[in-house]
Amino acid sequence: MNAVIPAPALPATAAPTHTRTRVRADARGPAAAGPWHLRSDPGLAQVEETVRALLEPHLGARLLPATGGEPAAGGEPAAGGEPGPVLRLTLGEAPPSPRRAVGVAPDGTPVPVDESYGLTVGPDGITCRARTAVGVFRAATTALQLLALPGPDGELEPRHLSDAPHYAWRGLLVDPARCFIDPDDLRRIIDLAALYKINVLHLHLTDNEGWRIESPSVPSLTAPHRSGTEAFYSAEEYAALQEYAARRYVTVVPEINLPGHCAALRAAVPGLPDAPAPEGVAGRFTYVPPLDLADRRTRTMVREVLADVCATTAGPFVHIGGDEAVGITDESFAAAVRELRALARGFGKRPVGWQETSRAGVTDQDLAQYWVDPGMMDLPATADDLAERPDLLAAGFTPELVAAMRRFFAPSADDLQRVLAGGGRVILSPQSHLYLDRGYAAAVVPPERAADAARLGFPSYLPRDVRHTAGWDPAAHGVPDDRIAGVEATLFGEVLQGIDDLTTMLLPRLASVAETAWSGRPATWETHRAALARHGRLWQQRRLAYFPATDVPWR
């Protein structure tokens, strides 16, 4: 059980069997058992279908086709007439767990989220039991890891375990705006998220580099000759992706990032006026002017876009962005955020915003995604310090630009307090640990991967090792636990060129974030790295590229 990530809430206990019969999990041992059967209660047919699809890359032909009916006691006949082990999915009372997540309804009301489950490895197979279908599915992902990553003898000893999450929101942001992700590849990311019990996929769909979601009311947004966007998700593709995710109990949260980060929108809808700029900023630095939502034409266009996005989004949340609105007055920014929130709520969705949206006021209805404070920026303090950062010099940083960035990010020091004082809740995504576009530290880069490591890291972030991400503790930010809505890893796409780059930056660190998001605190490094060392096999079975950092003893 030690290789399961996230680790179960309660340690596995030996199952009470008279014989110490073991369930052989794969065909590498000297006397491998026959193929596996997958069976479920009648009300879990869709869960069974999804679990079967997730298991296929790991069991292949050893996962027998569905035949219907209930398995006989002692297993079912496999090829050759011998009983085969059964992975059984069933609804019923699950053992109690010390963890229980609390989610948030669209109106802001706290609601319990029951993803708890029990799992038993017995002489006849594995039984996944929970009170809810989602709990059964979470148990099945644990079973999948047990089957994909057995011990050296290829067997599983009989065990009981029980489990439940600490946080209800366990998210991953990916960035199709800058590096478009083909729908089939996005499905592979959804599968990966589900295997690690991540239940939110945050799609950063719009930015300066591209607009990636169809808006029938404003068709120019996805017209290549207007916006520069060459690929996007049609309404049909977006609906299909959401349905695929929902079958894996993953909620899709679309982000329409406004009022800044709007170059693609401006190219598609020319002539929109600039937001009022602070005195002394205009003309000094290169930036895309944010939108002015006080302008009637701009406000009408944004309303149409959000109406389309909200209408085609099945889940309860829409992310309105709000970060890094460079070149806008405080008053204009606050008015824009209030307008965006009101529009999303008017269309029946709960708005989520980056932490900067707290500067427009906060209520107990608001969710703010915390990503930065001045200390996280890793900015040099002096010109001499800048001279020792070739990464920043190569990216065009000057002493004046560094000073301007320090001034711009100074208000972030108080954003968390603004959220808490207003009664809002926080999604923790600190850039210091959970931004997975941060490069891998040179000390953990295998020589044969040096070129990848140099190419893939976002240039202004100091590279770190895997242990750095795995050691992050949500309690470090001083947010009361009941005010933390959840945890979200992010992977922005500025330096990515395809799915292999994307998964190389995600893996192995996404598994570490998933561990903390599910359990509420980091595992000890020695325990976690020992489990992580076996997951490279799982990713290989799924044909996912990963980075073999040397601080993990891969095997």
Does the structure show a pLDDT above 90 at 137?
Answer: yes
Report, as an integer, the average pLDDT of 458-462: 89
**538, 145 Cβ separation under 8 angstroms:** yes
pLDDT of residue 109: 58
Q: How many CB atoms lie within 10 A of CB 417?
A: 12
Confidence band of 33 (pLDDT split at 50, 70, 90):
very low
Report, as an integer, the average pLDDT of 271-289: 85
- In Å, how far are 373, 389, 433 from 462, measured between CA atoms? 15, 10, 11
Residue 159, strand partner residues:
14, 121
In 11-82, beta strands by DSSP E: 13-14, 23-24, 37-40, 76-77
Confidence band of 108 (pLDDT split at 50, 70, 90):
low
Q: What's the mean per-residue pLDDT of the chain? A: 90
Does the structure show a pLDDT above 90 at 406?
Answer: no
pLDDT of residue 491: 98
pLDDT of residue 94: 75
Residue identified by tokens 């302008």 is 295
pLDDT of residue 115: 94
What domains sit in the chain, N to C, each tagged with a CATH number? 13-163 (3.30.379.10), 169-541 (3.20.20.80)
- For the stretch 412-439, pLDDT in tens is 999 999 999 999 999 999 999 999 999 9
Q: Strand 83-84 vs strand 76-77: parallel, antiparallel, or unpaired? A: antiparallel
pLDDT of residue 394: 82
State the DSSP string of 418-443: HHHHHT-EEEE--HHHHBTTSPBPGG
**196, 280 Cβ separation under 8 angstroms:** no
**Structural tokens at position 386:** 């800048």
Report, as an integer, the average pLDDT of 278-287: 76
Burial 166-177 (b: 16+ CB within 10 A, else e): bbbbbbbbbbbb
**546, 536 Cβ separation under 8 angstroms:** yes
**157, 136 Cβ separation under 8 angstroms:** no
pLDDT of residue 365: 92
Confidence band of 153 (pLDDT split at 50, 70, 90):
confident
From 78-82, 350-354, 457-461, the region with the lowest mean pLDDT = 78-82
Does the structure show a pLDDT above 50 at 553?
Answer: yes
pTM value is 0.93
Report, as an integer, the average pLDDT of 514-526: 97
Does the structure show a pLDDT above 70 at 196?
Answer: yes
pLDDT of residue 207: 97
State the DSSP string of 54-86: HHHHHHGGGBPPP--SPPPTT-EE-GGG-EE-E
pLDDT of residue 484: 96
Does the structure show a pLDDT above 60 at 30?
Answer: no
From 22-31, 69-78, 429-438, 494-503, the region with the lowest mean pLDDT = 22-31
Specify the amino acid at residue 425.
Answer: R
Does the structure show a pLDDT above 70 at 78?
Answer: no
Does the structure show a pLDDT above 70 at 283?
Answer: no
**Structural tokens at position 310:** 């909200």
Give the whole-angstrom CA distance, residue 152 versus residue 161: 21
From 20-34, 147-161, 480-494, 504-518, the region with the lowest mean pLDDT = 20-34
